[in-house]
Chains A and B, each alone.
Chain A
C-alpha cells in the first residue's frame, strides 16, 4: 500500500496516544483538533497528590502532548474539523476545514504585545491557557472590536512577527488516508440539568471539573463566597450517571472525589469531608490501600442527596436519605461538590453521520462486542471516551489499542 497515512480525529489524550503509537511505528499521522490547542480536558486538570502520589495520572499527559506536537511524522491541524468522508478502508478521502487562522500559530511567539494593546476588557486576544499547546494567542471573535465592525487593528499593527491578519479565510483540504481513528472525547454532565442540586444557583456548589480547574490554577481551594478555605465539604456521587438517561457508571467520579477529598484534608486537616454514594467504585491498581486510608479521615454515607438549599446562615443545606439509618437527614456544609459524570458529546450525532458510524444506546459511538475499537465501518476505529467512559490510563490504553487496529490494516495490505 502506497499511502501510509492515518487520520486521528481529536487531539485529546486518546488521540495523542494513538497518534504517537502510529508515528513511532513508522506511519504518518494527521492529527485533527477542533480547538486551538491540544490535550483535551486533561490539560486543565491538576495533580492530586498529598505527600505521596494518588495515581490520578494527570502528570503523564504533558510529556505526551509535547512529543506529539514535535514529532516529525505527526501533522497537527488545529481549529479543524471533518466535513466529509468518502471512500473506504485503504483509501478514505476526508475533507477538512480549518477555521480562519487570524493568528498564524506558526508565527506567533507568544510575546503578548498584542494583548497589551487590545482595548477590550476582557481582552479579545489572549492565551487559551497557561499550559496551552501550541502556546499561541487566539482571537475571540465574539468580543473583538474589529469583528464588531469597528476599525481596530491595534494588535495586528503591534505584532512583531506579522502573525495577525484579519483577512484570512477558512481553508479546506482533502486528505487521503488509509484508516481513521475517532478520538473526539466526551462532555461533562451539565449539573444544571438537576436543578434541585443548586449548581449555578449557589456559588458554593461546584462540580468535579470545577475543582480540577481551581486546583490547577491556584493550588488551593477557597470558597467563592468569602475567599476562605472550606471547613465542611460534601461530595455527591453519581450526578448524571447510573440513572435512566445515562445507564452506566462513569468510572472516574468515585476516584476523583476520594482523591480530592484527601487533598482537601491534606491542605486543611481540620476540614470535615463527607462523601454521599450509592456504590463506591474502589477497584483499580493501588486504589484499595488509598481507600483504606480514606476511610480513616473521610465520612462515607450511603445515600444520595435529593436537594441542596441555601440555609439561613448562608451555608448549604443538603437533604438526603441516609440508607444506613433509614431516614431523611439534613446537614449543612459550606461547600458541595457534585461528582458529575462523563456523557457523550452533543455533536456525536453529526460526527456519526459524517463518518457513517453507529451510535450505541447511550449515545457513545458503538463498538463491536468484545472488540471495543472496531466500528461498523471497516477501517474506522474508536479511541477513548467517545466510545464510553474511561479514566486517563484507560483512555490512553484504548488509544494505543486503536492504533494497533489501524496498524493491522496496513500490515495486512503490505
Chain B
C-alpha cells in the first residue's frame, strides 16, 4: 500500500521562537510521500487533535509524523488520536523539536528542526501495525518451598482466587520458624503460628501439597511454564502460569571464623530454643549465657533478630545472666530498636568489640575475651553456654536451580541479582519470583511484604480477566533463522525458545508475554532475522540516513 505521510507540527503556543515554522512547513511539504503538512499552536489539546483527526481522514493519511514536545508527555494522547482516526497506534513517529531542539540550543535551530522532522518521516515510512490481543494463560501457580514463607504464599494466592501446588523437598511442611523461641511481646508462639498455618494449608482446597518432591526441570515462559516434578520414583510434568520460590536459607556455625579449639562447645539458636522449651531437662540452670555476633558476617539482620528474641526468653524462663558480644547492631528492621532497648532494660548486657573476641575453654565453661570499646577495657566472660552466630547461606541445590532456571544469583549466591529493577521479588524472567529467606536476609516485615508483593504481581500478570500482549512486536522471521541459538542464550528475560516447524527445522520463537522489549536479540542476531517493530533496523537506519540528507 502506498505510504501517505501526514506531518503535524506544533509550535507550542507560538512560544518556540527560534524555529522558522513557515520555512519548516514549506520544506517538509517537499519530502517524499508527504501528502499533508499542517502547523498548530496546540496540537495536544482538543482543538489541535480534532484538526489532526479530520486531516487524517480527509487526506487518507496512513503514517503520522508529529513534530512537537517530548513523546514522553503526549505520546499516549496522540496514539489514542490515531486510533480514533482509524489508524494503528504504531503508525506514529514523533520528532522532539522542543526539549531536544528549541529549548536546548541558543540561536536559530530551524535547520536542526528540519532534520529531526526528516528523521521521523524517514522512520515513519517503515512503520508496521502492532496489534494487541488477549492470550490465555494458565492460572495455576507453583510454590517451591514448604516453609512458613511458602505456605503463606500459597494461602495468599488462594485469598486472591488462585490455585497453587506447593512443593516441598522434605517429608513435611515446616521450615525455620521453630528456631525462634517466641516473638517478644506477641502472644502467639512460633509453634502456634506454624501449626495454624500448616493446618490452613492442609484444609485449603485451592492448595495441593506435594512433599518429598523436587523440581527437576523448568521450561517455558510466563503464563505457561512446564515444570517437571519428581516425587520418589515418579516424575510428572505440569503446566503453571507463574512460580514462586520460597526455598529459604540454611545457617551454619563456622568454627574456623571463631578460631575455636576443638573441645570448645558452642551451641546454635536452635539448641538454645530446645533448652528453653524444656528447661526441666537441664542438669542445672545455666548461670550465664553468652551470644557472639558479627564474626562470620557483619552484614546480616538474622543473627540479631534471633538473639534479641531468644535472649529475652532466656531472661524470662531461666533468669540467667545474658551477654551479647557484637560489632554493629543491625537495627534497621521494624521494632528492633525497641526490642534492643527492652533487652537492655531486662538486664541483657551488650558488649561491643572492634576486634574479634577470643574464645577458649576454661574449667568446663566457655571463656570469651574481648575488648569492649564502650568501656575501653578488656572483658573476660565465663559462660555456661555460648550461642554462636550462624552464617546465612544458600540452601543446597541453589546453584543447580539457578542454572536450571537460567536466573542469576547475587555475589553471595542468593536470589536474585542485585539489579535494583528486580526489587523486591521479581527476577529477570517474567513470572518467576523469589520471596523471603532465599534472597539472603530476613526480617518479619520484609518477609511479609515480599509474600504479598509476589502474590499481587502474579495476580496482575495472570489477571483474572485476560492477559493482553502486543502481538509479535519483536518477531523472529523463520525463513531467515539459522537456529544458531544466540538469541536464546542472550535474551535476559528467557523469552526465546526453539520450536520445531517441520521434521527438519527448528527456529527461534519469541514469546510475547515474556518479552520485555529490549531488542538485544535483534541487535545480536547474525542473520538479522529478528524484527523489532518500532525499532527495526530499517527504521533506525532510516533515521540515521536522514542526517545530512539533502533535499
Closest to A254 in B: B332
CB distance from B198 to the nearest CB of A (A): 16
CB distance from A126 to the nearest CB of B (A): 15
Q: Does B459 contact A (CB under 8 A)?
A: yes
Q: Does B96 contact A (CB under 8 A)?
A: no
Residue in contact with A25 in the complex, picked from B73, B186, B418, B460, CB distance below 8 Å: B460
Complex contact B337–A242 (CB within 8 A): yes
- 26 A/B residue pairs, CB under 8 Å, sorted by A: A25-B460, A26-B463, A57-B423, A60-B421, A135-B73, A161-B13, A161-B42, A248-B335, A249-B333, A251-B332, A251-B333, A277-B328, A279-B331, A281-B330, A282-B298, A282-B299, A282-B328, A284-B332, A289-B411, A323-B373, A326-B376, A372-B334, A393-B424, A401-B456, A404-B156, A404-B160
List of B residues within 8 angstroms of A373 by Cβ: 452
B-binding segment of A109-117, A210-218, A223-231: A109-117
Residue in contact with A411 in the complex, picked from B161, B331, B335, B445, CB distance below 8 Å: B161
Complex contact A160–B463 (CB within 8 A): no
CB interface residues, B 160-197, toward A, < 8 Å: 160-161, 183, 186
Complex contact A55–B186 (CB within 8 A): no
Residues A249 and B336 in contact in the complex (CB < 8 Å), given A26-B465, A401-B456: yes
What CA separation (Å) do A312 and B76 show in the bound complex? 59
Complex contact A242–B374 (CB within 8 A): no
Complex contact B337–A247 (CB within 8 A): yes
Closest to A23 in B: B460
List of B residues within 8 angstroms of A66 by Cβ: 72
List of A residues within 8 angstroms of B331 by Cβ: 242, 249, 279, 281
Instruction: Other than A26-B463, A109-B12, A281-B331, give 9 A-B pairs with Cβ distance below 8 A.
Output: A56-B420, A282-B298, A282-B299, A285-B410, A285-B441, A302-B352, A324-B373, A398-B449, A411-B160
What CA separation (Å) do A112 and B13 show in the bound complex? 10
List of A residues within 8 angstroms of B423 by Cβ: 57, 60, 285, 393, 396-397
Q: Does B301 contact A (CB under 8 A)?
A: yes
Complex contact B299–A291 (CB within 8 A): yes
Residue in contact with B186 in the complex, picked from A53, A60, A370, A403, CB distance below 8 Å: A370
List of B residues within 8 angstroms of A369 by Cβ: 186
Residues A288 and B156 in contact in the complex (CB < 8 Å), given A249-B331, A282-B328, A283-B299: no
What CA separation (Å) do A174 and B330 show in the bound complex? 46
List of A residues within 8 angstroms of B335 by Cβ: 248
Complex contact A370–B420 (CB within 8 A): no
| Complex A-B, nearest 7 residue pairs according to Cβ-Cβ distance, in ascending order | A160-B13, A401-B452, A286-B418, A393-B423, A111-B15, A404-B456, A397-B424
Q: Does A147 contact B (CB under 8 A)?
A: no
CB distance from A347 to the nearest CB of B (A): 22
Q: Does B455 contact A (CB under 8 A)?
A: yes
CB interface residues, B 449-475, toward A, < 8 Å: 449-450, 452-453, 455-457, 459-460, 463-465
Q: Does A150 contact B (CB under 8 A)?
A: no
CB interface residues, B 302-352, toward A, < 8 Å: 328-338, 341, 352
Residues A283 and B453 in contact in the complex (CB < 8 Å), given A26-B464, A370-B186: no
Residues A21 and B160 in contact in the complex (CB < 8 Å), given A283-B332, A398-B449: no
Residue in contact with B159 in the complex, picked from A60, A112, A408, CB distance below 8 Å: A408
Q: Does B69 contact A (CB under 8 A)?
A: yes
Q: Does A59 contact B (CB under 8 A)?
A: yes
Complex contact A324–B328 (CB within 8 A): no
CB distance from B457 to the nearest CB of A (A): 7
Closest to A400 in B: B453
CB distance from B329 to the nearest CB of A (A): 4
What CA separation (Å) do A113 and B13 show in the bound complex? 9
Q: Does B300 contact A (CB under 8 A)?
A: yes
List of A residues within 8 angstroms of B457 by Cβ: 21, 400
CB distance from B188 to the nearest CB of A (A): 8
Q: Does A196 contact B (CB under 8 A)?
A: no
What CA separation (Å) do A405 and B455 show in the bound complex? 10
Complex contact A25–B456 (CB within 8 A): yes
Q: Is the interface of B mostly helix, strand, loop or mixed?
A: loop
Residues A25 and B459 in contact in the complex (CB < 8 Å), given A282-B299, A287-B299: yes
Q: Does A201 contact B (CB under 8 A)?
A: no
What CA separation (Å) do A56 and B440 show in the bound complex? 18
Complex contact B328–A279 (CB within 8 A): yes
Q: Does A2 contact B (CB under 8 A)?
A: no
Complex contact B76–A70 (CB within 8 A): yes
- A264-298 interface bits toward B, Cβ cutoff 8 Å, 1 = contact, 0 = none: 00000000000001011111111111010000000
Q: Does B425 contact A (CB under 8 A)?
A: yes
Closest to A135 in B: B73
Q: Does B519 contact A (CB under 8 A)?
A: no
- A36-72 interface bits toward B, Cβ cutoff 8 Å, 1 = contact, 0 = none: 0000000000000000010111011000001000100
What CA separation (Å) do A111 and B456 show in the bound complex? 40
CB distance from A238 to the nearest CB of B (A): 10
What CA separation (Å) do A369 and B186 show in the bound complex? 8
What CA separation (Å) do A323 and B301 show in the bound complex? 24
Complex contact A53–B420 (CB within 8 A): yes
What CA separation (Å) do A282 and B299 show in the bound complex? 5
CB distance from A222 to the nearest CB of B (A): 24
List of B residues within 8 angstroms of A279 by Cβ: 328-331
Closest to A243 in B: B337
Closest to B445 in A: A372
CB distance from B206 to the nearest CB of A (A): 12
Q: Does B361 contact A (CB under 8 A)?
A: no
Closest to B70 in A: A135
What CA separation (Å) do A388 and B455 show in the bound complex? 22
What CA separation (Å) do A287 and B453 show in the bound complex? 22
List of A residues within 8 angstroms of B459 by Cβ: 25, 404, 407
List of B residues within 8 angstroms of A161 by Cβ: 13, 42, 45
Complex contact A404–B452 (CB within 8 A): yes
Q: Does A371 contact B (CB under 8 A)?
A: yes
List of B residues within 8 angstroms of A414 by Cβ: 161
Q: Does A107 contact B (CB under 8 A)?
A: yes
Q: Does B439 contact A (CB under 8 A)?
A: yes
List of B residues within 8 angstroms of A53 by Cβ: 419-420
CB distance from B378 to the nearest CB of A (A): 13
Closest to B446 in A: A394
Complex contact B421–A397 (CB within 8 A): no
- B514-550 interface bits toward A, Cβ cutoff 8 Å, 1 = contact, 0 = none: 0000000000000000000000000000000000000
Count chain B CB atoms within 10 A of each CB in A26, A247, A280, A404 and give the residue with the most.
A404
CB interface residues, A 376-407, toward B, < 8 Å: 388, 393-394, 396-398, 400-401, 403-405, 407
What CA separation (Å) do A145 and B455 show in the bound complex? 53
List of B residues within 8 angstroms of A24 by Cβ: 460, 463
What CA separation (Å) do A247 and B421 show in the bound complex? 32
What CA separation (Å) do A277 and B337 show in the bound complex? 15
Complex contact A394–B186 (CB within 8 A): no
Closest to A21 in B: B456
Q: Does B480 contact A (CB under 8 A)?
A: no
List of B residues within 8 angstroms of A107 by Cβ: 45
Count chain A CB atoms within 10 A of each CB in B42, B329, B332, B424 and give the residue with the most.
B332
Residues A21 and B460 in contact in the complex (CB < 8 Å), given A26-B465, A396-B423, A401-B453: yes
List of B residues within 8 angstroms of A280 by Cβ: 328
Residues A109 and B13 in contact in the complex (CB < 8 Å), given A59-B420, A60-B423, A286-B411: yes
